[in-house]
Structure 1
Amino acid sequence: MTVLRIVANIAAPEPGQAAAFYQDLLGLDLVMDHGWILTFAAPGQQTPQLSIASEGGSGTEVPDLSVEVDDVDEVHRRAAAGGYEIVYALTDEPWGVRRFYVRDPLGKVVNILSHGR
């Protein structure tokens, strides 16, 4: 048996409220829309991962979702310009990631990160 995919499911009364955040800010494609569920995806193949945490690192809360991007500084600029709430400032962490937390339109805390610089 091989795990092929892991999908994060976020409960929302109006899933469409998140479309601009996940499509425009993060550049994900809308790959399924049944009205009651929207699924966003990035092109390419990804390794399934699941994190279980007691904290988010550096004393932060555990984020609801983590998204690795190739240019965290650019996403941070776009998030700030878009008026999204930055929950944790852009930071170079001692374990080798540069990241920030942003609140999506559904109230979920999203950890946006890049590895190494």
Structure 2
Amino acid sequence: MRARRIMTNLRVADIEAAKEFYTGFLGLSTEEFNLGWVARYSSPGGGANVQLVTGDATAPEDSVISVQTDDVDGAYEEAQRLGYEIVHPLTTEPWGVRRFFVRDPDGNVLNIVGHSD
């Protein structure tokens, strides 16, 4: 698998309440998306970003990072072949991404995601 982009998923109690800190204070002024339970904010040049998450809408656990890849199906097959624990099966989500969750050897849950863009 080849990672194209890795984003921190930061657990927050309320996205709207946290938004001012990350946009006003840290300057992550571009809201790439906001689904109510997860939102991504980036710097104007795109070099810095964070995803704020109140709780995943469809997965049984929250992930600590999201890893974007061009071949999510291949990554899923590789994770299975290597014997890694799949926390959330490969799924095409209603908001248009295809993803799965995998647990790393230290217990961290990663969201491996493919975008249609």
Decide: shared fold, TM above 0.5.
Answer: yes
Shift of 1:27: 6.2
Structure 1 unmatched ranges of 5 or more:
1-24, 29-45
Amino acid across the alignment from 2:66 = S
User: How many residues are treated as equivalent by the alignment?
Assistant: 77
Aligned to 2:105: 105
What's the secondary structure of 1:76's corresponding residue? helix
The alignment's TM-score, normalised by the length of structure 1, stands at 0.58
SS of 2:67 mapped into structure 1 = strand
Tell me, in whole angstroms, the C-alpha distance in 2 between the residues paired with 1:27 and 1:54: 24
* Partner of residue 116, structure 1: 116
CA distance in 2, matches of 1:104, 1:73: 18
- Structure 2: 5+ residue stretches without partners: 5-45
Q: Distance in 1 between matches of 2:97 and 2:3?
A: 20
**TM superposition shift of 1:106:** 1.0
Aligned-residue CA RMSD (Å): 2.3
Paired residues of 2:97 and 2:115 also in contact (CA < 8 A): yes
The reply on whether 1:83 has 2:83 as its aligned counterpart is: yes
- Identity fraction in percent: 42
**Structure 2 residue aligned with 1:64:** 64
Q: Quick one: distance in 2 between partners of 1:27 and 1:116?
A: 15
Distance 1:26 1:85, change over 3 A: farther
